[in-house]
Structures are given as C-alpha cells and as structure tokens.
Amino acid sequence: MKRKVTKAIFPVAGLGTRFLPATKAIPKEIMTLVDRPLIQYAIDEARAAGIKDFIFVTARGKSALEDYFDIAPNLEAELRRAGKTELLNVLKTTNMESGAIAYIRQQKALGLGHAVWCARRLIGNEPFAVILPDDVIAAEKPCLQQMVEAYAETGGNMVAAMEVPPEKTSSYGVLDVKEDMGQLVSVKGMVEKPKPADAPSNLAVIGRYILSPRVMGTINKTKQGAGGEIQLTDAIAAQIGASEDGVFGYRFRGQRFDCGSKAGFLQATVAFALARDDLRDELSEFLREMAVIDKAAQ
C-alpha cells in the first residue's frame, strides 16, 4: 500500500567549505537568495508538498538554523509597536508549529547516506522525502509536490532527475535507465559521481527524493563509496531488485540552481530578484548596463 508522504529529512550538516569565509560563522543554509535563506525555500517547498514533520540532520556550528525557525517575541513586539504589519507577516512565514521540527546531530561527516540514516528512528516505517537545500528549484508547481503526485501512482522510490552536460557527470548521482517513459523513467542502476567515460547516461539525480523506509536498512549495510563516503545513491541502487520497490527518476518541470556553487548561487540570486516586482526594474537596468560595459571591454 502506498502511504502519504508527511515526513522530510533536510541534511544540513555540511561544512559549506566552498563558501568560506562566510560559512565560518553562519551555516550555508542561512545564506540568502535576495532576502530569504536557502533553507526557507526548502521548507516552503516541503510544506507545499504536504510535509508535516521536518527533520533536520545538523552538526556542530549549525544552531543558527534552530534560532531561525524559533519565534522571535522581542522582534515581533517591536514590529507590532511600530505598526509594521507587512514585516510581521514576512516573519510569520518562518514560524513552525511546536513540535514540527526535530533536530538530529550527525556526529561525524560520513556522507549523505549516513546523514539520512541518522534520522531512521524518526522515520520509522513510513515513506519519506529528502530535500537537499543546495538544490533550489524555481517551478510553477514546486518540485516535491510534482513528485508526490507522481509517487502516488508509482510508489517505490523516486529521485528528481535532470539531463546534465555529459562532461559534468562526476558531480552527480547518475541513472542507468531501464525504460524511458518521458517524464518518468524506471531505473536499473545508479552510480555516484562517475567519470564521463563510466557514466551510464547523462540523466543526473537532483536533490529531491521520496524513499521507502527500507532504504534505511540498506544504508546500514552500504560500504563507503565515492569520496570515501556512505552514499545515498548506493543505498537506493541496492534497493533495485532487492525488494518489490521500484526506483524511478522523475524529470521535474522547473529550473534548478546549484546553490552549492558560487556561480549557481549568483545565478539564483539574479533569477529570483528578477522575478520580484520590487527589484525587477532596477536590477534589469543594471544588468543591461553591465552587459554593455562587458561588450565594450571585449
């Protein structure tokens, strides 16, 4: 029987070394696209998909995330006193119902698979989603919601998928496709970060997953893989054939930004700012000027 997906894991234990020195003192998930932290985009997407229980797998130095989702009584009182209702409403979007978020520590950085496994007791025997906040997806219908709808038909395990340039496969989990049905593909294998020559395709895993709780047991048996880490990709791949659960790739509709890289983060910042009524005109004028200067310099 397929069950509703109401739990999501947010692996947020990473050190964010690519964004040093900023990440020396703040978690990378608090870094902002325009004026909202990366993690807020992930939470909003999860909420839209019907997620009720939010499980953060954190690490030392990440307590700013807990403060971010707490209420801020003094700040709220101050805004109320000043009659700043609009800002108060903005602030309310960060409030979570009591008990909706759980924080678990991943004590050692052993990899994404291990981070997910750290949440096994809270997942129990239910299917669950995993959202990697580094992957920000702009879409009319939020990506995880698209997947939850598709999963209602397939069950099993589902990963978000996107074609990437063949020379980029070594940055991703890559799907070995059994049957391509268009939006949906069934998968007969998965490889974490293969060299282009070894990649079974250029259909890459993007950071959204809906997984069977059986994956937790498999992670426990998964040996170190790419980069010496316990990989989620390997554990999902090990599910194929091991149970009646299928593994599916879902080509989502939307634009994905790799906010784990500086270039991707900047692109997302520009794209999200251009989508905003209060910023579009000023920013696009600036971008046009920059393009002219750039052209003149060449």
Q: Which chain residues interact with ligand G1P by CB under 6 A?
A: 112, 132, 135, 172-173, 192, 204-207, 231-233, 260
Question: Cβ 207 to ligand G1P, closest distance in Å?
Answer: 4
Q: Name which of 37 and 111 has its Cβ closer to ligand G1P.
A: 111
Question: Cβ 206 to ligand G1P, closest distance in Å?
Answer: 5
Q: Name which of 55 and 115 has its Cβ closer to ligand G1P.
A: 115
The residue whose Cβ lies closest to ligand G1P is 173
Q: Name which of 135 and 176 has its Cβ closer to ligand G1P.
A: 135
Residue 191 and residue 174 in contact, taking contact as beta carbons nearer than 8 Å: yes
Q: At what angle do helices 280-297 and 262-274 cross, to 10 degrees?
A: 130
DSSP 21-68: TGGGTS-GGG-EETTEEHHHHHHHHHHHTT--EEEEEE-TT-HHHHHH
d(CA 78, CA 66): 21
Question: Cβ 226 to ligand G1P, closest distance in Å?
Answer: 8
d(CA 131, CA 133): 6
Chain centroid to CA 236: how far? 17
Q: Name which of 186 and 261 has its Cβ closer to ligand G1P.
A: 261
Question: Cβ 202 to ligand G1P, closest distance in Å?
Answer: 12
Q: Name which of 14 and 37 has its Cβ closer to ligand G1P.
A: 14
Q: Where are the beta strands (DSSP E) in 78-229?
A: 101-105, 128-131, 135-138, 157-163, 173-180, 184-192, 203-211
Q: Name which of 13 and 30 has its Cβ closer to ligand G1P.
A: 13
Residue 206 and residue 253 in contact, taking contact as beta carbons nearer than 8 Å: no
Q: Name which of 31 and 206 has its Cβ closer to ligand G1P.
A: 206
Query: Which amino acid is located at 221 in the chain?
Result: K
Strand partners, 247: 157
d(CA 12, CA 29): 7
Chain centroid to CA 141: how far? 15
d(CA 239, CA 128): 15
Q: Name which of 28 and 47 has its Cβ closer to ligand G1P.
A: 28
